[in-house]
């Protein structure tokens, strides 16, 4: 099908012939990303999903207590679905009590609320809390791990597999820095009402006060999550997120040498991202970007736009150098459903496409009556016979 090509400046339609007249961008180049000693790491923008820095980000590794991000993700889903409540009471099993590693110091047959267990999981990194929640939701930790893997697949965590709810070592229990970044973004996006728990600096249970192991919560006021992890096999790990001036970044560092280095390396990534990049909302969902001619419909025009907000992460100071381009079907015919893809919009920065989205109809157009369809059909035939092929 014949396509029309147009250059769409942010808010201004330009003929394609003017593209060559646009001056080249100027400004300081973005410096190289920091090189960390950690085994694997990634820095990702939350809104755009743009990966700013990565090293071995898709390598499958032991993730220790970073696992508990998925444990809490499942619990939050059950809360939102009304299947459990924060004030539900859980009776602690001997199995949960015997679980080794970090603890919130539960005791057998103790009755504890779901909310207390979540805080013990998120703030104190309690393995006993993780098992107690897993047993409460799925009967056994093994069954709960199956639910964890279901949600991992839904989130596109293609290099992850969960065997338990705690992160205790198992050769078949693994994830990647990239997958953990996706999971972190999902928690922030899907459960904003629960996300604030990740910024809690301490929690007292059973008369024992424990501090959050995420040292960045004390170092940087912009940091508000997420989770630490450590075993001999995994090294020191940290998934963190921070928000400055409306821009949110997610950092995941895995296999760092010490508790101090995982915090310092995570801080280096976050500082680099905030210093040298910016995230801009180019278009809003439902905003009219163009108007399309519709044939054989009750309406001759249909507004066109995007069905979701479009954020782009770019080097600082380069916003004015963005050059969007629209590629649209030349003949739109009714019936046309709202949300139907009718073209594509691409955002260029220099020679790179930094974003590409479907251009969709923002309204439905019903078919015209017999005479209207016949008249437009004849006009299309005449255009095909005598019209310009450009």
- What is the reported pTM? 0.85
Catalytic residue among 125, 130, 256, 268: 125
The helix (run of H) or strand (run of E) holding residue 312 is strand 310-315
| Residue that is written with structure tokens 């207390």 in the block | 116
Residue 144, in any domain of the structure: yes
Task: Note whether residue 17 is domain-resident.
Answer: no
Give the Cα separation of 30 and 113 in Å (integer): 50
- At residue 28, the pLDDT reads 64
Residue 335: Cβ-neighbour burial (10 angstroms; 0-12, 13-18, 19+): middle
Of 279, 301, 317, the last residue of a domain is 279
Concerning whether 356 is annotated as a catalytic residue, the answer is no
Instruction: Name the 3-class secondary structure at 126.
Output: coil
- 361 with 252, same domain: the answer is no
Which residues span the domain enclosing 60?
40-201+214-279
Alpha helices by DSSP H, listed for 81-124, are: 94-98, 114-122
Rounded average pLDDT per 10-residue block, the chain, 390 residues: 39 33 53 93 97 97 97 97 96 95 95 97 96 97 97 97 96 97 98 96 94 95 95 96 96 96 96 95 89 78 89 92 84 82 90 90 77 49 49
Question: Has 48 been annotated as catalytic?
Answer: no
| Count: domains in the chain | 2
Residues 241 and 300 in one domain: no
Among 48, 65, 240, 266, the active-site one is 65
Q: So what's the pLDDT on residue 301?
A: 83
Q: How far apart are CA 187 and CA 231, in angstroms?
A: 24
Q: Which distant-in-sequence residues (6+ apart) come within 8 Å of 107 by Cβ?
A: 92, 97, 206
pLDDT computed for residue 293 by the predictor: 79
Residue 361 buriedness (CB in 10 A; 0-12 / 13-18 / 19+) = buried
Asked if 84 contacts 58 with a C-beta cutoff of 8 angstroms, the reply is no
Cα 234 from Cα 316, distance rounded (Å): 35
Let me know: does 242 contact 220? Beta carbons within 8 Å.
Answer: yes
Residue 71 inside a domain? The answer is: yes
Active-site option among 40, 48, 68, 251: 68
Question: Is the Cβ–Cβ distance between 302 and 292 less than 8 Å?
Answer: yes
Domain of 146, CATH number, reads 3.40.710.10
Task: Assess whether 65 carries a catalytic annotation.
Answer: yes
Q: How far apart are CA 264 and CA 30, in angstroms?
A: 21
Q: What is the dihedral of CA 134, 137, 143, 145, to 10 degrees?
A: -50
255 and 354 fall within a common domain: no
**Residue 300's domain is classified under what CATH number?**
2.60.410.10
Which runs of E-coded beta strand occur in 23-72?
40-45, 51-55
Domain boundary pick from 279, 304, 327: 279
Same domain, 222 and 298: no
- Residue 369 is predicted with a pLDDT of 57
Q: Based on C-alpha coordinates, what's the Rg of the chain?
A: 26
């Amino acid at each position: 099908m014949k396509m029309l090509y147009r250059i769409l400046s942010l808010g201004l339609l330009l003929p394609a012939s003017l593209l060559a007249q646009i001056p080249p961008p100027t400004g300081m180049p973005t410096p190289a990303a920091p090189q960390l000693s950690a085994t694997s790491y990634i820095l990702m923008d939350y809104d755009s999903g743009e990966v700013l820095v990565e090293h071995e980000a898709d390598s499958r590794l032991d993730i220790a207590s970073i696992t508990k991000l998925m444990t809490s993700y499942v619990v939050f889903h059950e809360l939102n679905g009304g299947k459990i409540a924060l004030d539900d009471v859980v009776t602690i099993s001997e199995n949960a009590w015997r679980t080794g590693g970090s603890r919130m110091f539960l005791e057998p047959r103790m009755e504890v609320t779901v909310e207390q267990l979540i805080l013990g999981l998120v703030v104190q990194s309690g393995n006993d809390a993780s098992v107690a929640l897993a047993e409460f939701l799925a009967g056994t930790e093994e069954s709960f791990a199956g639910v964890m893997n279901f949600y991992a697949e839904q989130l596109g965590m293609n290099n992850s597999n969960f065997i338990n709810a705690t992160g205790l070592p198992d050769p078949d229990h693994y994830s990647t820095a990239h997958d953990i970044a996706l999971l972190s973004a999902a928690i922030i996006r899907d459960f904003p009402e629960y996300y604030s728990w990740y910024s809690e600096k301490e929690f007292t249970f059973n008369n024992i006060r424990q501090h959050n192991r995420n040292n960045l919560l004390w170092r940087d006021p912009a940091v508000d999550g997420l989770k630490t992890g450590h075993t001999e096999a995994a090294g020191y790990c940290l998934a963190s997120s921070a928000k400055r001036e409306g821009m949110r970044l997610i950092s995941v560092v895995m296999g760092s040498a010490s508790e101090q280095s995982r915090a310092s390396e995570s801080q280096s990534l976050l500082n680099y991202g905030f210093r040298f990049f910016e995230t801009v909302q180019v278009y809003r969902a439902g905003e009219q970007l163009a108007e399309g001619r519709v044939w054989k419909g009750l309406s001759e025009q249909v507004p066109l736009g995007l069905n979701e907000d479009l954020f782009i992460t770019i080097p600082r100071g380069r916003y004015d150098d963005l050059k969007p381009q629209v590629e649209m079907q030349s003949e739109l015919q009714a019936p046309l459903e709202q949300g139907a893809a009718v073209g594509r919009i691409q955002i260029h920065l220099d020679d790179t496409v930094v974003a590409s989205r479907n251009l969709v109809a923002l309204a439905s157009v019903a078919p015209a009556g017999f005479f209207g369809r016949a008249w437009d059909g004849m006009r299309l035939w005449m255009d095909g016979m005598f019209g310009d092929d450009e």
